[in-house]
Amino acid sequence: MSARTAAAVAFVADPAPAAEAAPLLSVVKGGARVAETRAEVREAVRAARAAGKRIALVPTMGYLHEGHLTLVDRAREVADWVAVSVFVNPLQFGPGEDLARYPRDLPRDVELAFGRGADLVFAPSVEEMYPHGEPRVTVVPEDGMAERLCGASRPGHFRGVLTVVAKLFGTFTPDVAVFGQKDFQQATLIRRMVDDLDLPVAVDVAPTVREADGLALSSRNVYLSADERARALALSRGLRRAAELFAAGETDGGALRAVLRGAMSAPGVEMEYGEVFDARTLAPVARAVPGSVMAVAARVGRTRLIDNAVLA
Ligand code: AMP
């Protein structure tokens, strides 16, 4: 651990001394900062912009892994000043979902983010993000995009996602925001929100990072037992087989779906959906074309996993 990250971790573990030394913005050695309030963020962004920097934001729910960190790498390629937000957003969790047990380790996240070159970590409390309780303004498209796929089994999920992302955009006013293709529907809805509302932010989507055996990295993988971890490969296996079939000339949506669903009809895997759809509208396609998207979701034990791939 470098001196810079050690200082950052110490601040998070015990905010009192650092807060006394720097009441507005907690500055850690090397210039990297941890902010807990929107006011601190605005001040840090104002200073970065005054220095002529292009601002990037990487929104996350923390428990960072290599997938998140490649988004930081990408952000550093396209901007000069990079912020990572770490916020487990209660608005996007439904009743009975894993909000309470969602994995959290802020000191580790701060160390990883700064180790990868982030300039600021924003780790607000729920009260800081939602001082007036749950916002009543909603920006979810009304045409069904948010009700398909993950939206079908997680009612209100994307309303929660788009609300927090809109607020983060309002707080950071980033020039660019980087998201992962791992959450394809989320990224598509965010692009749509930005487009519909003319938000002045470029949305950048980076490829999914996987383990060597194909499992997509996810904070939720920590829930998996060794046995479940092996069963979880059904998702990426189905995507790979269907992609191979498409490459061999099969374009029938039903045939490709059957491959995705077949791979997930395995013991210990409870399929939620296996779909082939249009990348822009998210509506199912009868005939797949290059650029169509395949997505899968399943429960392995108590853990809900998702994955997707774009057909080439
Ligand atoms: P989360 O913390 O799960 O909300 O994810 C935060 C961001 O990281 C989202 O834009 C995700 O799409 C992205 N992300 C999560 N897992 C991966 C992965 N395996 N590869 C690339 N990006 C990812």
* pLDDT digit string, tens, across residues 134-149: 998 888 988 999 999 9
Residue with tokens 């491959």: 259
Measured from the Cα of 186, ligand 1's closest atom is 12
| 235 and 202, same domain (yes or no) | no
> Does 4 have pLDDT greater than 60?
no
| 171 and 227, same domain (yes or no) | no
| 12 and 151, same domain (yes or no) | yes
Measured from the Cα of 182, ligand 1's closest atom is 12
| 41 and 151, same domain (yes or no) | yes
Judge if the beta carbon of residue 209 lies within 6 A of ligand 1. yes
| 241 and 192, same domain (yes or no) | no
Judge if the beta carbon of residue 84 lies within 6 A of ligand 1. no
Give pLDDT, residue 240. 98
* pLDDT digit string, tens, across residues 56-92: 999 999 999 999 999 999 999 999 999 999 999 999 9
Residue 70 belongs to some domain of the structure: yes
> Does 305 have pLDDT greater than 60?
yes
Residue 181 belongs to some domain of the structure: yes
Residue 164 banded pLDDT, cuts 50, 70, 90: very high
Other Cβ atoms less than 10 A from the Cβ of 6: the count is: 13
Give the number of domains in the chain.
2
Judge if the beta carbon of residue 92 lies within 6 A of ligand 1. no
Residue among 71, 72, 150, 306 whose CB has most ligand 1 atoms within 8 A, to mutate: 71
> Does 10 have pLDDT greater than 70?
no
Angstrom CA distances, 30 to 3, 33, 41, 124, 312, stand at 9, 9, 18, 22, 43
| 183 and 37, same domain (yes or no) | yes
Q: What is the DSSP letter of 162?
A: H
Give pLDDT, residue 30. 67
Residue 9 banded pLDDT, cuts 50, 70, 90: very low
Residue 311 banded pLDDT, cuts 50, 70, 90: very high
Judge if the beta carbon of residue 89 lies within 6 A of ligand 1. no
Nearest to 186 by CA among 66, 23, 306, 83: 306
Give pLDDT, residue 28. 61
For the residues 176-187, what does the mean pLDDT come to? Answer: 98
Other Cβ atoms less than 10 A from the Cβ of 163: the count is: 23
Measured from the Cα of 210, ligand 1's closest atom is 19
> Does 256 have pLDDT greater than 80?
yes
| 198 and 240, same domain (yes or no) | no
Residue 65 belongs to some domain of the structure: yes
What's the maximum distance between 2 C-alpha atoms anywhere in the chain? Answer: 65
Last residue of a domain, one of 160, 179, 206: 206
Judge if the beta carbon of residue 85 lies within 6 A of ligand 1. no
CA–centroid distance, 156 to ligand 1, in Å, is 19
Residue among 60, 68, 99 whose CB has most ligand 1 atoms within 8 A, to mutate: 68
| 287 and 253, same domain (yes or no) | yes
Angstrom CA distances, 51 to 55, 185, 234, 243, 250, stand at 11, 35, 49, 47, 54
| 237 and 199, same domain (yes or no) | no
> Does 6 have pLDDT greater than 70?
no
Q: What is the pTM of this model?
A: 0.92
Judge if the beta carbon of residue 292 lies within 6 A of ligand 1. no
Measured from the Cα of 219, ligand 1's closest atom is 3
Nearest C-alpha to atom 11 of ligand 1 is from which residue? 180
Last residue of a domain, one of 206, 229, 257: 206
| 163 and 54, same domain (yes or no) | yes
Judge if the beta carbon of residue 218 lies within 6 A of ligand 1. yes
Give pLDDT, residue 117. 96
CA–centroid distance, 64 to ligand 1, in Å, is 9
Measured from the Cα of 181, ligand 1's closest atom is 12
* Inter-residue contact 83 to 43 (CB < 8 Å): no
Residue 213 belongs to some domain of the structure: no
Domain of residue 40: give its range.
3-206
| 191 and 280, same domain (yes or no) | no
Percent of the chain with pLDDT over 70: 90
* pLDDT digit string, tens, across residues 269-296: 999 999 999 999 999 999 999 999 999 9
Alpha helices in 23-105 (DSSP H): 38-50, 66-78
Angstrom CA distances, 141 to 146, 151, 166, 189, 308, stand at 7, 12, 14, 8, 22
CA–centroid distance, 22 to ligand 1, in Å, is 32
Q: Which residues are catalytic?
A: 68
For the residues 163-192, what does the mean pLDDT come to? Answer: 98
- 15 vs 180, higher pLDDT: 180
| Choice among 26-35, 98-107, 197-206 with the minimum mean pLDDT | 26-35
Nearest to 217 by CA among 83, 85, 63: 63
Residue 151 belongs to some domain of the structure: yes
| 97 and 241, same domain (yes or no) | no
* pLDDT digit string, tens, across residues 11-50: 233 333 344 444 345 656 567 889 999 999 999 999 999 9
Give pLDDT, residue 20. 42
* Inter-residue contact 257 to 267 (CB < 8 Å): no
Last residue of a domain, one of 206, 230, 246: 206
**Cα–Cα distance, 307 to 183 (Å, whole number):** 8
> Does 153 have pLDDT greater than 50?
yes
Domain harbouring 148, CATH code? 3.40.50.620
For the residues 202-229, what does the mean pLDDT come to? Answer: 98
Judge if the beta carbon of residue 178 lies within 6 A of ligand 1. no
Tokens of 277: 């759809």
Residue 211 belongs to some domain of the structure: no
Give pLDDT, residue 32. 80
Q: What is the DSSP letter of 210?
A: B
Residue among 108, 183, 209 whose CB has most ligand 1 atoms within 8 A, to mutate: 183
Give pLDDT, residue 269. 98
